[in-house]
């Protein structure tokens, strides 16, 4: 867009060079300066990064001859801290502020947001990846299907860039993302902290989501007082809101002038641009969202005008006029009664100068982002699980959960899910992976009531859950997202008819209407997930608190954090020096497309498995015959199947044992073909029973897999299930070099590893109606009693799959996790084990 992101004609010294200049003396000859040598640096880095207490570090250094033999420049933790504090270049410093409300004085600690933005924007490790201007990406040549993933692909950046360009061309937008969330920092005494985090949208989301990269920065700790001395509840709530907004307003006041007129900032490569830091998104759960925008409970914090009785409706709603809200806030000098009346008229609480009031180019209602963790997993999914347990009965649901076969990506609930208390977001994720399959074929206890609509409602919500977390969306997939939500709403009345619900006036259900528009504004939901805040609590709050003496903790916590940041910054500088001080480029080198990877252990788990042992322990009953057929077919590709069987029956194998491997690992690239999305780890187990270290017998495990049936030359696109079939992997094995040379005419063309698989039926042309899952059954050879099996090259294994048993009206109690694959006859292919499986199989 125009000159967006253009340099302003001057350059600064690249960050690492400026950093080197700030180190005084000795840096030219010593890479580790101010530490005298590598060992001194490594011990210091370990002491600050691994978290031993200061007393423990001092005790270690006090051991006789340790300091002398290692030639350390410090003899105690205090001396080490002095080096870090006085000789390493500074990081944004914390300031202590005081605020008084209702006669009570609060202290809070914060940093200058412009200094934090400067540190993030100028970090040389981010420089090759920074986005400086909005972009539009399309899936087709006609540019009709738009793609949304990173923040700069969304509409917000384009709109804001246009507004900035209208005032003065050539500006660079710095989208500021902030999040607040109170967290408990002690197991006892109920002591809490109220951290506020910040990052910038110029940094790609795959970097921002990794705490180790340092792309999220703690900008302050807010007061945690409950103002219990204020007896009136309404007055207390209003005072707490005013304290919150006053503190954040003081922190972000510098953004008003900087966002409007811009400030010169240098990226890590030394290029200076006129940057406009603008609040783009607020990340928080529903109570935090209501607190920020000033709406009441049971109202929409994203500006929808609706009654609480309309929260469960699937429809569009009129938005509040943001200009009217700003005008109402400006009546504060007219007197308290007039101000309260003006705020009530526009639908907000009478907050004393909300922090966003004067921020340029900011619409706080637009800045509220979807919250997958609390609105979906801890919201609608939590409700759905409770509704399903009430509809079918907890006993039967638990029985089915306990009898599901294992899979690498699944958690096994051996006692069901009813006994779980304080269920976490991760546990809700684990339940969702199998929830739909558990209720298939399960009749409702109400006579004459058909469970079809309940299954449709569950499928709609599960589809919405998985699609809402896509790392890349298009206008097409967003339509699918809306259709999934519509499916849930069309069938949700079944829960009212069952007497489980009286209505669906749930703010979290209403919030699902906003996911699709917000993805178009700010990119996909992994740009602004509250899960990141939950993870940051550990590094920035809980670990920091544990490092204190628990008395007047905040000065200690902030100092501890600054020291850790200095050490992290110095570690990156040392890495750059050791790499030969390479220049920082404006753009990152192009990434090659990620490919499917498979790994098998270098050495077998069992070096010699005879054919009898393969049958007895692995269930590979026809290994000898099938291996003979495979060798004959490989050596004689022109033979018909009948000829292969005839020759194989007379063929004598030149070996009597094979080497068995118990695991195959896979790394799946993103199923949507995006390069910057983390790979999905997957494992197939083919392991016989064994006795563990506690002398307990453990059953064997033979996983099911999706297997290629197409010729190898066609095996390029590994998405979808076309040309594939489900099989149970009974054994993964290889031949010795001598056996390989004796068996195959061209040993170099033979596979290195093989798999013995028992087949299931081929997929039907389409999935089963209502639940959209494919049904498969055990495949038998002609005659009906012998399972159809084959030897295949292990490279034909595409991924593990999870089969959900067709339990019928009641789960047979003799079935267990270990034997269900043997005893059950019919199964459903589960597409919910992970995102790759969902996109591949649905």
pLDDT bin (cut points 50, 70, 90) of residue 303 is confident
State pTM to two decimals.
0.94
CA–CA separation, 479 and 483 (whole Å)? 6
Average pLDDT, stretch 741-769? 93
pLDDT at 9: 75
Name residues whose C-beta falls within 8 Å of residue 296's C-beta, 6 or more positions apart in sequence: 290, 349
Does 593 have pLDDT greater than 70? no
Please write the tens of the pLDDT for every residue from 309-327: 999 999 988 899 999 999 9
What pLDDT was estimated at residue 24? Answer: 78
CA distance 114 to 217: 12
pLDDT level of residue 3 (50, 70, 90 thresholds): confident
pLDDT of residue 52: 80
- Helices marked H in 294-367 — which ranges? 322-329, 336-346, 364-367
DSSP-based three-state secondary structure for 603: coil
Query: Residues 79-108: what's their mean pLDDT?
Result: 90
Which has the closest alpha carbon to 281: 371, 398, 178, 359?
178
Distance CA 100, CA 185 (A): 25
Give me the pLDDT at residue 713, please: 45
- Name which of 112-126, 180-194, 725-739, 807-821 the model is least confident about: 180-194
With a CB cutoff of 8 Å and minimum separation 6, the contacts of 69 are none
Closest CA to 802 of 840, 769, 765, 764: 840
DSSP label at 202? T
User: What confidence category does residue 74 fall into, taking pLDDT thresholds of 50, 70 and 90?
Assistant: very high
Taking only the tens place, the pLDDT of each residue in 527-573 is 999 999 888 999 999 999 999 998 989 999 999 999 999 999 999 99
In the prediction, which pLDDT does 784 show?
A: 76
What are the CB-based long-range contacts (under 8 Å, 24+) for 323-327? Answer: 326/357
The mean pLDDT value of the chain amounts to 92
**In the structure encoding, which two tokens stand for residue 297, read together?**
């409970």
Question: Which residue has tokens 């899936």?
Answer: 139
Q: Is 590 exposed, middle or buried (0-12, 13-18, 19+ CB in 10 A)?
A: exposed
pLDDT tens across 599-646, in order? 999 999 999 999 999 999 999 999 999 999 999 999 999 999 999 999
Question: Could you read off the pLDDT of 231-251 as tens digits, one per residue?
Answer: 888 888 999 999 999 999 999
Would you state the pLDDT for residue 349?
93
User: pLDDT at residue 359 above 50?
Assistant: yes
Q: pLDDT band at residue 363, thresholds of 50, 70 and 90? A: very high
- 519-522 own/partner pairs: CB under 8 Å, 24+ apart: 519/148, 519/154, 519/370, 519/473, 519/478, 520/148, 520/154, 520/155, 520/478, 521/154, 521/155, 521/156, 521/366, 522/151, 522/154, 522/156, 522/201, 522/280, 522/281, 522/369
Which strands form 597-599's sheet, in the order they lie side by side?
A: 597-599, 663-668, 680-687, 701-702
């Amino acid at each position: 867009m125009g000159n967006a992101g253009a340099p302003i004609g001057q350059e600064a010294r690249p960050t690492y060079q400026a950093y080197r200049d700030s180190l005084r003396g000795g840096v030219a000859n010593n890479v580790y300066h101010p530490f005298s040598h590598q060992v001194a640096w490594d011990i210091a880095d370990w002491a600050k990064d691994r978290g031993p207490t200061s007393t423990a570090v001092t005790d270690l250094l006090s051991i006789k001859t340790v300091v002398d033999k290692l030639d350390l420049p410090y003899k105690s933790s205090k001396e080490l801290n002095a080096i870090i504090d006085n000789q390493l270049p500074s990081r944004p410093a914390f300031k202590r502020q005081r605020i008084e409300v209702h006669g009570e004085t609060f202290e809070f600690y914060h940093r200058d947001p412009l200094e934090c933005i400067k540190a993030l924007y100028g970090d040389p490790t981010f420089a090759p990846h920074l986005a400086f201007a909005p972009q539009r990406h399309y899936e087709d040549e006609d540019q009709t299907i738009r793609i949304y993933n990173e923040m700069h692909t969304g509409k917000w950046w384009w709109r804001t860039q246009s507004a900035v360009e209208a005032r003065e061309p050539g500006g660079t937008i710095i989208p500021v993302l902030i999040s607040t969330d109170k967290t408990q920092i002690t197991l006892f005494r109920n002591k809490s902290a109220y951290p506020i985090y910040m990052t910038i949208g110029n940094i790609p989301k795959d970097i921002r989501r990794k705490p180790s990269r340092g792309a999220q920065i703690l900008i302050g700790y807010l007061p945690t007082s409950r103002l219990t001395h204020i007896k009136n509840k309404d007055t207390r709530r209003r005072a707490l809101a005013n304290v919150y907004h006053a503190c954040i307003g003081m922190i972000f006041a510098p953004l008003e002038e900087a966002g409007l007129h811009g400030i010169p900032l240098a990226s890590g490569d030394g290029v200076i641009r006129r940057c406009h830091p603008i609040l783009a998104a607020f990340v928080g759960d529903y109570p935090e969202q209501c607190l920020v925008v000033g709406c009441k409970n049971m109202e929409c914090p994203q500006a929808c005008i609706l009654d609480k009785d309309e929260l469960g409706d699937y429809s569009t709603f009129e938005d509040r006029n943001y200009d009217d809200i700003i005008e109402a806030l400006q009546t504060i000098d007219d007197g308290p009664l007039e101000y309260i009346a003006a705020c009530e008229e526009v639908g907000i609480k009478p907050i004393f100068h909300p922090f966003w009031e004067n921020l340029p180019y900011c619409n706080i209602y637009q800045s509220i982002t979807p919250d997958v963790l609390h609105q979906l997993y801890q919201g609608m999914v939590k409700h759905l699980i409770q509704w399903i347990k009430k509809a079918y009965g907890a006993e039967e649901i638990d029985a089915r959960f306990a009898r599901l076969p294992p899979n690498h990506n699944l958690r096994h609930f051996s006692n069901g899910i009813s006994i779980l208390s304080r269920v976490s977001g991760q546990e809700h994720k684990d339940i969702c992976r199998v929830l739909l399959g558990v209720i298939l074929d399960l009749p409702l206890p109400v006579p004459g009531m058909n469970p079809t609509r309940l299954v449709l409602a569950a499928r709609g919500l599960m589809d919405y859950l998985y699609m809402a977390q896509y790392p890349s969306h298009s206008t097409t997939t967003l339509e699918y997202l809306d259709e999934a939500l519509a499916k849930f709403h069309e069938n949700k009345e079944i829960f009212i008819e069952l007497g489980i619900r009286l209505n669906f006036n749930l703010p979290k259900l209403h919030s699902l209407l906003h996911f699709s528009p917000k993805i178009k504004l700010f990119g996909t939901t992994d740009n602004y997930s509250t899960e990141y805040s939950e993870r940051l609590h550990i590094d920035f709050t809980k670990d920091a608190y544990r490092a204190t003496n628990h008395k007047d903790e905040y000065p200690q916590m902030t100092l501890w954090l600054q020291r850790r940041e200095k050490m992290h910054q110095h570690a990156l500088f040392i890495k750059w020096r050791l790499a030969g001080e390479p220049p920082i480029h404006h753009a990152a080198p192009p990434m090659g497309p990620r490919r499917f990877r498979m790994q098998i252990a270098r050495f077998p788990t069992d070096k010699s498995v005879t054919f009898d042992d393969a049958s007895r322990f692995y269930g590979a009953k026809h290994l000898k015959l099938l291996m003979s057929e495979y060798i004959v077919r490989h050596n004689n590709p022109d033979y018909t199947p009948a000829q292969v069987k005839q020759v194989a029956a007379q063929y004598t194998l030149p070996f009597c044992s094979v080497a068995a491997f118990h695991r195959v690992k896979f790394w799946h690239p993103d199923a949507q073909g995006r390069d910057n999305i983390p790979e999905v780890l997957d494992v197939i187990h083919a392991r016989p029973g064994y006795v563990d270290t506690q002398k307990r017998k453990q059953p064997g495990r033979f996983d099911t897999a999706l297997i290629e049936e197409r010729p190898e030359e066609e095996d390029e696109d590994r998405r979808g299930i076309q040309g594939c079939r489900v099989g149970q992997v009974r054994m993964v094995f290889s031949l010795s070099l001598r056996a390989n040379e004796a068996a195959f005419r061209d040993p170099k063309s033979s596979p290195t590893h093989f798999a013995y698989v028992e087949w299931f039926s081929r997929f039907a042309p389409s999935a089963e109606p209502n639940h959209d899952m494919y049904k498969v059954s055990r495949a038998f050879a002609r005659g009906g009693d012998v399972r159809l099996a084959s030897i295949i090259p292990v490279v034909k294994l595409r991924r593990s799959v999870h089969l959900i048993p067709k339990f019928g009206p009641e789960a047979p109690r003799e079935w267990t996790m270990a034997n269900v694959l043997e005893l059950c006859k019919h199964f459903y292919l589960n597409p919910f084990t992970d995102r790759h499986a969902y996109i591949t199989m649905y």
